[in-house]
Amino acid sequence: RVIRGKLPPGVPFEYVNKVLNKKALSALIDVCYRKHKNKETVLLADRLRTLGFNFATSAGVSVCMDDMVIPPKKKDLVEAAQKELERVVDQYQEGLITDGERYNKVVDIWAGVADRVAEEMMSGIGREVIVDPETGERAEESSFNPIYIMADSGARGSPQQMRQLAAMRGLMAKPSGEIIETPITANFREGLSVLQYFISTHGARKGLADTALKTANSGYLTRRLVDVAQDAVVAEFDCGTLDGIRVTKLEEAGEVIQPLGERILGRVALEDVVDPLTGEVIVEANTELDEDKVAAIEEAGIEEVVIRSVLTCQTRRGVCAMCYGRDLARGYRVNIGEAIGIIAAQSIGEPGTQLTMRTFHIGGAAARGKIEQSALETRTEGTVRLRNTQTVRKRDGSVVVMNRHGELVVMDDTGREREHHRLVYGAVLKVEDGARVGAGQIAAEWDPFASPILTEVGGIVQYADLVEGVTAIEKVDEVTGLSRKIVIESRAADLRPRITIIDPETGEPMKIPGTDLDARYLLPVGANIVAVEGEHITPGEAIAKIPRDTTKVQDITGGLPRVAELFEARKPKDHAIISEIDGVVSFGKDTKGKRKVMITPYGIDGQPLNDQAREYLIPKGKHIQVQPGDHVRAGDPLQDGPANPHDILRVKGEKELAAWLVNEIQQVYRLQGVGINDKHIEVIVRQMLRRVRIKEVGDTNFLVDEQVEKYVFERENARVMERGGQPAVAEPMLLGITKASLSTESFISASSFQETTKVLTEAAICGKTDDLRGIKENVIMGRLIPAGTGLPAYKRLQVVLDEKSPTYAPPAPLRVAQPELAAVGEE
């Protein structure tokens, strides 16, 4: 009722008939802006501010010791964790797991417990029981605990900080970024022991040092982004393109991170969006997807929408308003002349500056990334279908997945695909093909801390090329006194450590089912050998385990360099080799120190096209992800390692690369809880992809391997084809932001960025001219900038009064007060 009187007419009551936290206030002001535009919104914001300060003063919210309520279940949860730890330590001492796996499991247990204690605290502190003094009735309602109010309303503090006050501080990080495996079980209310205090100081100091170092880093990233994107301006209303990008909801580890509605809001539909059941058109092509249309699309259960994007915009210089969509600052279609490049650069750069500070707030409490996923849960009810999946039944009756490209799909009763999951190699399946599953049922489980090498056949284990001290070492664990073999990198080029499975009856190597290949498994560097020579093993058993890296803190300090690496399009160290074609895997004869993997495509008639087969040489010691007989798709990795963006561009094309880049960059920011609209990243990626490399010259004026802007290439080709000549052929290029800034057409802009002497001498040698098309070069020359109202198109506009128009009204005579007139007269 307090706020009701302050609202402008037409704002629905449900927007205020609830607890108004930060989000709800945003929604209220948003709906007011959509209905009433600027003036009413400003007045409403003003009234809300006065109201807020008034009640904040009279409420007298304070913080006191008793407001930090320690959850009663905390003791039991910590004790249960201690018991679980003892089990893990026992497994380690019996030699069942390695020290690395033990460390990972310990960190995982404590991270889980800290989360559970924090949940208990939040649920305890967030509700309180009110007893009616007259009737004695008990009612539960939202708590008036001041600390809870502050964090829950979004005013100050976060659940992450509250858990340190009243739950447990949890795991801390060493300055090196590793997590210390003994957590701080105390909280600030209970007080820390000397040792716990000492561990805490580690994290706090790291936070302060990081802050100082990373601010400069983040500022430099922003500068590079602004420089690469400064000439991206909205140049026209519609470029008329027929191309766009497909958008679906974003899922990670089976969880919906961003629903489809959020991703398409404020974009323009490329094609008609049709209801799959009724066939009626929900949204026509080339209309903006506003809140109502997005709600209609989500209600109709549509899974993907094709939208226009700056990535596919055909405008020569700059982009068009239809491909960009809604101006995020104003909430309606973007104006012509808007400097969207600079807005994009600032939107991506600014959180970087914030995020660098983020470590400081939490004081180094190790925020583990996602707790490793170790099971696959179905989200919907339906029937399970296994696709392209090879399995083996183990001795204990469990079914194990034996290939890397298997898929588990859940279909509903109408035959529509509701869920789609990639199966992890070595996962134990809990459901069979064709089985009915319910929501939340576990379909598969696996060990998240080590990837196994499994055998497809049973037989006797035989070691080959496992030479003590050369290709493998016996590592004796100091704690348990047990030894295990670990594969090491060897200088000898002709030694390839491997395990062969021998037929106990004939003494010959066993064959892999369905092929004529020997059951021989190559061991990558760092693998722990589990199988003992001479023992008899059954199909589906692990013969070696490849440990995953021990958990480092995933933090934007690791994240900021990652964002810079992606924008700079650097080739990662030890990147994965990817398949360039769809086909079936086979292994060729090994060469010195390398393994030959062959991929053979198949024709429509099912016959192998051997003349089109591709060969890949994979260095020894790298773990090969594919097995003979596996079907791979173009772009699938053949070995372990990070993806190389240049390979993705070459094999899968520009759209796939752009989608991959947007997703990878968003992942870093999402981990820190920062939301950036995809279109900002798309603008930068468009600038990185604006050049092509000439492969065949044809009758054009280009040279082979010359790098030219896309529109120059298209213009020259159009000119040659008009005269009946042969056009040039080019391949797309991905340039990092620094490279792209330096290779821009304007030498004034490039020279003011970096390497001034080099840029200016080159420009002088080539006799370059600068057309002053971008914003930066005009600022340097002191001219009006070609953005906003300074756009050349606006300069030539003349406003003419149409006196014949029915809405024309003669201008009112100017009224000036008498004394002022007298003063004007004297002057």
pLDDT tens, position by position, 380-409:
888 888 888 888 888 888 888 887 778 888
Task: Give the residue-averaged pLDDT of 157-178.
Answer: 82
364 dihedral zone (left: phi>0; alpha: psi -120 to 50; beta): left
CB atoms within 10 A of CB 481: 9
More confident residue, 319 or 449: 319
- State pLDDT tens for residues 717-763: 999 999 988 999 999 999 999 999 988 889 999 999 888 999 999 99
Q: What is the pLDDT of residue 693?
A: 94
Candidates 714, 816, 353; CA nearest to 559 is: 353
Both tokens of residue 228? 């690469």
First to last CA, the chain: 58
pLDDT at 372: 57
| CA nearest to 145, candidates 168, 121, 164, 170 | 121
DSSP H or E segment with residue 599: strand 594-600
Say what the alpha-carbon torsion angle 40, 41, 45, 47 is, to the nearest 10 degrees.
Answer: 20
Instruction: Tell me the range of 37-46, 197-206, 508-517 where mean pLDDT is highest.
Output: 37-46
If one compares 507 and 476, the residue with the highest pLDDT of the two is 507
| Beta bridge pairs of residue 499 | 463, 521
What's the pLDDT score for residue 703?
92
Give dist(CA 750, CA 763) in Å, integer: 10
pLDDT at 553: 44
Between strands 542-547 and 528-529, the pairing is: antiparallel
Rounded CA gap, 401 and 404, in Å?
8
Structure confidence at residue 493 (pLDDT): 64
> Quick check: 350 pLDDT over 60?
yes
Residue 816 reports pLDDT greater than 60: no
Residue 821: what pLDDT?
44
Q: Cβ of 672: how many Cβ atoms within 10 Å?
A: 16
Mean pLDDT along residues 568-590: 85
Distance of alpha carbon 679 from alpha carbon 324, whole angstroms: 7
pLDDT in tens, 426-478: 888 888 888 888 888 888 888 777 778 888 888 899 888 888 888 888 877 66
Structural domains of the chain, with CATH = 4-206 (1.10.132.30), 234-338 (3.90.105.10), 375-446 (2.40.50.100), 451-547 (2.40.50.100), 572-670 (2.40.50.100)
**pLDDT tens-digit readout, 206-261:** 777 777 777 888 889 999 999 999 989 999 999 989 999 999 888 776 677 889 99
For residue 599, count other CB atoms closer than 10 A to its CB: 24
649 CA to centre of own chain = 18
Where is 586: in which H helix or E strand?
strand 583-587
Task: Tell me the C-alpha distance between 815 and 216, whole Å.
Answer: 56
**DSSP-assigned letters across all residues of 699-766:** TSS--TT-EEEHHHHHHHHHHHHHTT-PPPEEEE----HHHHHHTSS-HHHHHTTS-HHHHHHHHHHH
| CA neighbor of 265 nearest in space, from 235, 296, 288 | 288
By three-state DSSP, how is residue 310 classified? helix
DSSP 267-286: -BBSS-EE-TTT--EEE-TT
CA distance readout (Å), 324 to 269, 338, 622: 11, 11, 43
More confident residue, 822 or 488: 488
**Which DSSP helix (H) or strand (E) runs through 537?**
strand 536-537
Asked if residue 310 lies in contact with residue 324, where contact means CB atoms within 8 angstroms, the answer is yes
> What is the length of the chain?
827
Instruction: Record the tokens describing residue 632, joined without a space.
Output: 């791979």
Residue 202 has pLDDT above 80, yes or no: no
Predicted local distance difference test score (pLDDT) of residue 278:
84
- Judged against a pLDDT cut of 80, whether residue 503 lies above it is answered with yes
pLDDT of 367 reads: 46
Mean per-residue pLDDT, 12-17: 85
Residues 6+ apart with CB under 8 A from 234: 318, 319, 320, 321, 324, 334, 335, 336, 337, 338, 340
The CA angle 744-748-754, to the nearest 5 degrees, is: 75
Q: At residue 684, does pLDDT exceed 90?
A: yes
Which residue would you say has higher pLDDT here, 594 or 784? 784
